A and B are shown apart, each in its own frame.
Chain A
Amino acid sequence: AQSVSQHNHHVILSEAASLELGCNYSYGGTVNLFWYVQYPGQHLQLLLKYFSGDPLVKGIKGFEAEFIKSKFSFNLRKPSVQWSDTAEYFCAVNAHSNYQLIWGAGTKLIIKP
Chain B
Amino acid sequence: DAGVIQSPRHEVTEMGQEVTLRCKLISGHNSLFWYRQTMMRGLELLIYFNNNVPIDDSGMPEDRFSAKMPNASFSTLKIQPSEPRDSAVYFCASSLAGGRETQYFGPGTRLLVL
Mark A residues whose CB is within 8 Å of B.
32, 34, 36, 42-46, 49, 90, 94, 96, 98-101, 103, 105-106
Query: B108 contacts A43, CB within 8 Å?
Result: yes
Question: Which residues of chain B come closer than 8 Å to A103, judged between CB atoms?
Answer: 42-43
The one of A34, A44, A49, A100 that contacts B45, using a Cβ cutoff of 8 Å: A100
Q: How far is the CB of B38 from chain A (nearest CB, A)?
A: 12
Which residues does chain B contribute within 8 Å of A49, judged by CB atoms?
A: 102
Interface size class of B (residues with CB under 8 A): 20 to 34
- Is the pair B100, A99 in contact by a Cβ cutoff of 8 Å? yes
Q: How many A-B residue pairs have CB under 8 A?
A: 43
Flag if B100 contacts A32 (CB, 8 Å).
yes
Shortest beta-carbon distance from B25 to chain A in Å: 15
Contact B105 A43 (CB under 8 A): yes
Q: A101 contacts which chain B residues (CB < 8 A)?
A: 33, 45, 99, 103
Q: Which residues of B contact A100 (CB under 8 A)?
A: 45, 48, 56, 99
Could you pull out 17 A-B pairs where Cβ atoms are within 8 angstroms? A34-B102, A43-B105, A43-B107, A44-B105, A94-B100, A96-B100, A98-B100, A99-B31, A99-B55, A99-B56, A99-B98, A99-B100, A100-B45, A100-B48, A100-B56, A101-B99, A105-B42
| Residues of the A chain whose Cβ atoms lie less than 8 Å from the Cβ of B108 | 43
How far is A100 from B56 in the complex, measured between Cα atoms in Å? 9
